[in-house]
Each structure stands twice: as structure tokens, then as C-alpha cells.
Amino acid sequence: MKQKIVSYLKSIESDLFNISKYFYDNPETSFNEYKSCKYLIDILKKNNFNVQENYYNIPTSFYAEFGKGYPKICFFCEYDAPSEIGHVSGHNLVSSISLGAALSLSKVIDNFSGTIIVMGTPGESLSGSKVTLAKQGAFKDIDVGLMVHPDEVTCQSGSSMAILPLKIKFRGKETLSYENTDVSSSLNGLLYTFNSINLLKQSINENFHIDKLVINSGTDPYISSNTTEAKFYIRSKSISTAIYVEKRIRKIVDNANSLLNLDSEICFFQLPYRELITNKRLSRLFCHNLKEAGIIDICNEKNTVSGLSLGTVSHYIPCIHPYISILDKNSSVNYFTKEFADETLTKHAQQNALKASQALSLTALDLIQNDMLLKEVKKEFFNKIE
């Protein structure tokens, strides 16, 4: 069975390259990935997958499945480009890796009970759709979630940061900047808030950060604006810490309202991300299969300071998010650059992507063939969630 998967992957190597090349040539920003979404759907339909488009009313999302029964193994596709400079985070390869795994596994799954799922999840760079899908119940009947992300170095799946994207808006009275000095401006409310947050950081043992700060307080220095708005991320190692900090910030804002006679609004301006919980049993299984595919040098767990929408999914089902190097050993190219996007089309990158597809497919096959492995994965998951 495994040799059939390996052989089939080699036969579609050029097709998988065409996916990453098409996405590279046609970069689309978050939730505007119409060409990319259609390209993947057409391939899946051609390979006899049953496809639901506009999944959960997200226009560039889809759900595709092949096979029947359990376990149900989900491969995630991401296909947005975060900026005009293209696929600087390599999402064109994320999709080709996942599709390669799903297509190759579909050639052997008829011999077993099990269902292959490919889920198209747009908007990773902006309120990733996986969070919405999780909240809507898209994972309640899925056993395991798998994906691989291109990077500078090959690493085991680790953790990610929890993120709460908070927006605070203060409203006061609009005045000339040199008059009515007894009137507190909306900007004073924001200054009070951030001075208090700095003190808060010293009193909380758990580590957290406030970053990605954007402030809007009018454009004319002659006039004290009656509204001041700030957007920022609360970034921490766990969602529980982030929620605790958010509650304290809300109290600080209430104090600012009382002291300065202001009104305020607080809300999320994007969807929050929970931290990634890597299933270690699943991760060990994938790393074994990656070594079997020919990638021997695998670094320890990568604990990224970024937020991942898969982090939220990992609180619903067992997940892994390992990283695969697409760079030559002596390369000086950095992640999230135009040069990194260019590297996704090199022969070396395509070869490693093919090996990642093989490892994902064989990991899924192991779970389908060996019920004890799946039980171990699920036991670990429920122990961590509890």
C-alpha cells in the first residue's frame, strides 16, 4: 500500500508543481482567493472527490471527501497571499502538499474503512476561516487534522501564540487643541489605558505582549479629536492568559471613563486564535514517515510567536503543524520575503514538498490501518484538553 502511494506521488509530481506555480502566478489576498479555490476544486472533482463549495457560506472555502466510514482524516489547504508581493509565506506549497497527500491516499483507501477530507480554508493571514469553521461545528465529525507549512528549517510541530485582537474606542468632546484645557480628550483616555497596561505587565506573572498597535486620533493637530481608536494584539502563550489580560484591560478602560468623563467601546476586530496544541504521538508518527521519505534532519519543536488558526482547531481535534525546509543548506533567504516566495518554485522546494506529501499520506494511512495508533492519539488529545 505504501509503495503504491509513493509511486503515485511520483507520477503526479508535475501536477503538484503546477498548483504551486499557478498560485504563485496568481496571488490573491485573504478571502479573495477565487481562482485558487476553483483550481483546487477542479482537481478534486476530476479525482472523484465529492465537493461542497461555499462551505459554511464562506465563498472561497470548500469541503471535499473521498471514501466512507471512519476514521476521518482532514488535510488543510491554505491559499491566500498576505500581500501584493505574493506568496511570501508559502501557502502555494501548503495546498500542493495537502492535495498530494489526499490524492495519493485516495488510490488505496478503498481497501479500508476511512474517509479522506480536504478542507479549503481561506484567509489565514486575516482572521483565518478555520476559527469560523470550528465555531460552526465543522470538526465535530473529524478525527484528525494534518498540514505542513514551508519554512527555512525543517522542524517538528510545536506551539503557537494565542492572540486576542482588541479594539478600544474612546469618545470625548471635540475642541480646539488650545482651548478648554479642563476637558479631557479621547486621546487622554488611551494614554491612561496604555500607561496602566505597562503597570499591569509588571504585576502579572504570566508573560504577555501588546503589539501590532495602530492608533487613529484624527488628522488635524489644530483640533482635539472627539474619538480616538486603538487596535492591537494581546499575545500570550495560552488563551486563558490572554482572556485574563483582556478582562483587566476592560477594567482599566472603565476607570478611564469614570476619571475622565469619557465613553468607550471595546470589541474584537478580528477572530481570536487559541494556542496550538501539538499532538505529540501524531507528531512522532509524522516525523518517522518524513525520515522514511528521505528528510533526516528534523529540528526540535518550533514554537512560533505567530498566531495560527489551526491553533483553535487543535482544541477541537488532534492536530499537527510541522515545518518543512524549502531552502538549500547555504541559503540566506528569509521567510516572509519575495525571495522566499520565489524559492517555492525551485526544484529543491518541490522535492521536499513531495516528501512532505508522502509523509502526510503515510501518517494518515497508519492511522487508518492501526486502530491502536488512533486511540493513542485521541487519548493524548483528551488528556490535554481536560
Task: From 87, 97, 91, 105, select the one nearest 4 (Cα to Cα).
Answer: 105
Whether residues 283 and 313 share a domain: the answer is yes
Whether residues 109 and 77 share a domain: the answer is yes
**Rounded Cα–Cα distance for residues 155 and 324 (Å):** 7
Contact 121, 142 (CB under 8 A): no
> Residue 62's domain spans which residues?
2-160+274-385
All three cell numbers of 277: 496544541
From first to last of its 386 residues, the chain has per-residue pLDDT tens of: 899 999 999 999 999 999 999 999 999 999 999 999 999 999 999 999 999 999 999 999 999 999 999 999 999 999 999 877 899 999 999 999 999 999 999 999 998 999 999 999 999 988 889 999 999 999 999 999 999 999 999 999 999 999 999 999 999 865 544 555 544 688 899 999 999 999 998 888 778 999 989 999 877 766 667 899 999 999 999 999 999 999 999 999 999 999 999 999 999 999 999 999 999 999 999 999 999 999 999 999 999 999 999 999 999 999 999 999 999 989 999 999 999 999 999 999 999 999 999 999 999 999 999 999 999 999 999 999 86
Contact 194, 164 (CB under 8 A): no
Contact 104, 9 (CB under 8 A): yes
Q: Could you identify the residue written with the cell 477565487?
A: 34
- For residue 18, the one-letter residue type is N
Q: Which residue among 215, 233, 268 closes a domain? A: 268
The whole-number pLDDT of residue 224 equals 67
Whether residues 17 and 141 share a domain: the answer is yes
CATH number at residue 237: 3.30.70.360
Contact 353, 96 (CB under 8 A): yes
Whether residues 146 and 232 share a domain: the answer is no
The whole-number pLDDT of residue 179 equals 53
Query: How many domains, in total, are found in the chain?
Result: 2
The whole-number pLDDT of residue 182 equals 46
The whole-number pLDDT of residue 223 equals 67
Whether residues 309 and 239 share a domain: the answer is no
Burial 331-366 (b: 16+ CB within 10 A, else e): eeeebeeeebbebbbeeebbebbbbbbbbbbbbbbb
The whole-number pLDDT of residue 364 equals 99
Whether residues 228 and 133 share a domain: the answer is no
**Rounded Cα–Cα distance for residues 361 and 355 (Å):** 10
Q: Is 77 helix (H, G, I), strand (E, B) or coil?
A: strand
Q: Is 238 helix (H, G, I), strand (E, B) or coil?
A: coil
Whether residues 231 and 335 share a domain: the answer is no
End-to-end CA distance of the chain: 36
The whole-number pLDDT of residue 222 equals 61
Q: Which residue among 218, 247, 268 closes a domain? A: 268
Whether residues 114 and 250 share a domain: the answer is no
Q: Is 82 helix (H, G, I), strand (E, B) or coil?
A: coil
CATH number at residue 51: 3.40.630.10
Whether residues 247 and 316 share a domain: the answer is no
Whether residues 258 and 123 share a domain: the answer is no
Distances (CA, A) of 88 to 81, 99, 313: 7, 20, 24
Beta-carbon neighbour count of residue 267 at 10 Å?
Answer: 9
Whether residues 192 and 326 share a domain: the answer is no
Q: Which residue among 251, 268, 285 closes a domain? A: 268
pTM of the model: 0.94
**Rounded Cα–Cα distance for residues 292 and 297 (Å):** 12
Whether residues 288 and 248 share a domain: the answer is no
